[in-house]
Structure 1
């Protein structure tokens, strides 16, 4: 799909009329708001969910005319002010709805409405499918690993390298299955739900994560530099935060030249914490910056300094962990060389503050 997006010509893009037709055919409700907050389109499913059937005048109507609700209005206002998607679990006329407010270019907003019953049914079906696939994959992989261990004890020295390669590839497949299961669980969990929140000292957790990577780093003369002051803690799921930091540091280690440090720094503002991971490698290509958080995307292998191959799921998992905590992750190139990945997290998940002026150390 990324290739299609890059190759598509502007003349092939759908018109506004075609987009509205697609919206009308959608199984979920959609409301389109212009930059002034006026309702410009309501699809049939949204009319059904809101029990409303109004004819919009040429100059539109305020959202309150369609649905007067302070909670929904606040969600729309936050999405517009922060210019990032918002999600709301909303009770309206005895119906539990899942609401997503999505900012687009030019100040337009899309409001998606979906019944919690249909959403939960979809999630349940996906979870069953993932569980079935995991069972089918993990069982033969475990058996093959046992066969590999048995062969390793029996083959002669001339064939030992073949068995070692078999074991290495089987372990890589086992890790891939584990990553896919973890990503599926994260994608099928609503933000803020399923988290075991506790106070997490981020610099301390970074050091713990690096301890597991240190043997690989020492082989290449790479050290970790942590720029932090005491007391940099957030409320988060410690296990998932460990996984996010592990994936970020492992990614930086793969792309770092031998003998160059990996640096982690922190910045905080009212209600927010920014974790900045830097390496001194070749940086990201334009294609990397466009696709690096997608499933199974891998950058140019010529830029990888480590012989270890990744699954292509690590940064996608980081993104889902960030979203589950009400944060986000983004990447850029350092003007002085190297790559930078920034993980932005709220200090307290229950009390998100508007984001403004937060930058990592130069």
Structure 2
């Protein structure tokens, strides 16, 4: 790669080249002009000398006195330091200042002689055979009665002219060299004047690049460089503000992450750790600065955590899962939640894991479930005995009215306690099965499940005087646990039957678009006030406690429905208008065998 050049050495050669390019043609033109001028002046000088000789020669031509002509030529040529030659129209030499005319060739065909006889004046630069040197000749015709009778020719050696011209050219070259040197110096000064502020700007920019934003940018009277300097100064101030903002935000983020009890790990799309906070480093017994660049397998050799990270990277939706891990402090349970990690432009660059140590919470939940299950089993035994004895006494021959009424009250509450215990056992069983293993799902016909649920509630609908209408497309299927789904629908129908006035109709409806299966139970009962809906699925929560008890509800039915839907990885929602009725909608993941429709959303 060709090396970079400094701005000075970019500008200076260019300026110098422009100067030289300008000087060379000017010097050439001046030299040629002066040479032409000198030759013309020499020619005119030779012509003047020839005219001076012309007046002296004319009287000697008629009568012709060749000796006098030759003597005059020699005399005047010596004084003028010029060769003078007189030539007849026939070309014979009458006289010559340097040679004997009798020994000279005929000059009729000499160019200057031919031109002089023809036009009155002629000149030429040529080699003289007589003197064996190059001369400049100029001939003037001598006329008598407007008729040329001779030619006076003057000449000087060309080397004399060349010596003068060389002297002039030398002076011009010396002047050109001097101008070139001055131009080179001025070019260097101008180039330096332009490049020096740029050099200062460069050093200031380099200072800013290492964090010194107080560097001084130069002021100059060159408008373009002044604009660059001002722009760089404003850019440095802007960068300083942004760096300070980013540093402050980074420190705040570090403080927040460092203060969190939950472990936080940022992972890129290739599975490499971008950063972790202190809590995560303590969980996995590593150093914060060592973790970036590692994979999750290198950080924690835990198969379930690795699978969770793979699943989180494949999905953009948030997922949650309990993951058991083994640490130096013993076995722990982490509740891991994932969310997509986005850049400033909204593009996904990875996933963010938030892990909370829920070991103690899960232990308490297990204790609670064990307690509920054990207590339910313990209570069920005496309840069963009481129920049996009450039925025996009722069927016996007791005639006392009060005794029968008391036994009826005991039997009613025994049935209610039994229902509560059965619901608690069902809830405990569903929770245990969903945590220990995945529930068994099989391809089930939704229409059959809905009809079975309606059949199980037939006695209650007859007693309440309400009807259940089923609206379900044929051959609608879903992968689900049919028994659990049936139990959830029975609980929802039981709830709707209990709060529907006599003669009303309950609608049990199912639809699927291939992505989601939706099953809704709609009634025209008393409805539910909005403030009760958020707590509706809590255990033992009742909207109207007195009415719920009188209707025989246990307060656990909707909690069981919620857990059944959750183990199917679905959701349940409620739409209710007080005084007009309620609609409970179960949404389960579909299997792409739907009818292409969806139930209307709650409004």
Fold shared by both chains (TM-score > 0.5)? yes
1:227 aligned to 2:508?
no
Structure 1 stretches of 5 or more lacking a match?
Answer: 1-15
Cα distance in 2 between the residues matched to 1:303 and 1:260: 19
Cα distance in 2 between the residues matched to 1:139 and 1:302: 28
- Indicate the residue corresponding to 2:564 in structure 1: 321
1:58-94 Cα offsets, whole Å, 9 max, x none, are xxx899799698744454467763x6x533668899x
The Cα shift of 1:130 comes to: 3.7
SS at match of 1:195: coil
Cα distance in 2 between the residues matched to 1:270 and 1:192: 29
Q: For residues 145 and 23 of structure 1, do their structure 2 counterparts lie closer, same or farther at Cα, with a shift above 3 Å needed?
A: farther
Q: For residues 52 and 221 of structure 1, do their structure 2 counterparts lie closer, same or farther at Cα, with a shift above 3 Å needed?
A: same
Cα distance in 2 between the residues matched to 1:168 and 1:124: 32
- Indicate the residue corresponding to 2:264 in structure 1: 31
Pairing of 1:294-309 with structure 2 (within 5 A) = 294-300=538-544, 308-309=551-552
1:137-173 Cα offsets, whole Å, 9 max, x none, are 1111111112211221233251322211211111110
Q: 2:419 aligns with which of 150, 175, 194?
A: 175
Verify the 8 A CA contact 2:257 2:264 in the aligned structure 1: no
- Indicate the residue corresponding to 1:213 in structure 2: 457
Cα distance in 2 between the residues matched to 1:336 and 1:152: 41
- Bigger Cα Rg: 2
1:282-309 Cα offsets, whole Å, 9 max, x none, are 22212321100001011125877x9522
1:53 aligned to 2:287?
yes
Structure 2 stretches of 5 or more lacking a match?
Answer: 1-252, 267-272, 340-345
- Indicate the residue corresponding to 2:387 in structure 1: 145
| Count of residues in correspondence between the two structures | 325
- Indicate the residue corresponding to 2:513 in structure 1: 269
The Cα shift of 1:204 comes to: 1.6
1:186 aligned to 2:419?
no
Q: For residues 280 and 72 of structure 1, do their structure 2 counterparts lie closer, same or farther at Cα, with a shift above 3 Å needed?
A: same
Q: For residues 22 and 276 of structure 1, do their structure 2 counterparts lie closer, same or farther at Cα, with a shift above 3 Å needed?
A: farther
SS at match of 1:52: coil
Q: For residues 22 and 315 of structure 1, do their structure 2 counterparts lie closer, same or farther at Cα, with a shift above 3 Å needed?
A: farther
Cα distance in 2 between the residues matched to 1:303 and 1:112: 43
Cα distance in 1 between the residues matched to 2:294 and 2:493: 45
The Cα shift of 1:329 comes to: 1.1
- Indicate the residue corresponding to 1:203 in structure 2: 447
Q: For residues 42 and 285 of structure 1, do their structure 2 counterparts lie closer, same or farther at Cα, with a shift above 3 Å needed?
A: farther
Verify the 8 A CA contact 2:373 2:424 in the aligned structure 1: no
Q: For residues 21 and 125 of structure 1, do their structure 2 counterparts lie closer, same or farther at Cα, with a shift above 3 Å needed?
A: farther
- Indicate the residue corresponding to 2:574 in structure 1: 331
The Cα shift of 1:226 comes to: 1.4
Cα distance in 1 between the residues matched to 2:386 and 2:504: 39
The Cα shift of 1:39 comes to: 8.4
- Indicate the residue corresponding to 1:241 in structure 2: 485
CA RMSD across the alignment: 4.6
1:218-269 Cα offsets, whole Å, 9 max, x none, are 2333111111111111111122111111101111111212211111112213
Verify the 8 A CA contact 1:273 1:347 in the aligned structure 2: yes
- Richer in helix (by share): 2
1:158 aligned to 2:394?
no
Verify the 8 A CA contact 2:492 2:561 in the aligned structure 1: yes
- Indicate the residue corresponding to 2:599 in structure 1: 360
The Cα shift of 1:55 comes to: 6.0
- Indicate the residue corresponding to 2:321 in structure 1: 87
SS at match of 2:409: helix
Q: 2:371 aligns with which of 129, 133, 136?
A: 129
Q: For residues 234 and 260 of structure 1, do their structure 2 counterparts lie closer, same or farther at Cα, with a shift above 3 Å needed?
A: same
Verify the 8 A CA contact 1:79 1:101 in the aligned structure 2: no
Cα distance in 1 between the residues matched to 2:503 and 2:460: 12
Verify the 8 A CA contact 1:191 1:323 in the aligned structure 2: no
1:347 aligned to 2:590?
yes
Cα distance in 1 between the residues matched to 2:389 and 2:422: 20
Verify the 8 A CA contact 1:75 1:87 in the aligned structure 2: no
Cα distance in 2 between the residues matched to 1:341 and 1:63: 47
- Indicate the residue corresponding to 2:337 in structure 1: 101
- Indicate the residue corresponding to 1:3 in structure 2: none
Q: For residues 199 and 114 of structure 1, do their structure 2 counterparts lie closer, same or farther at Cα, with a shift above 3 Å needed?
A: farther
- Indicate the residue corresponding to 2:74 in structure 1: none
Cα distance in 1 between the residues matched to 2:580 and 2:433: 37
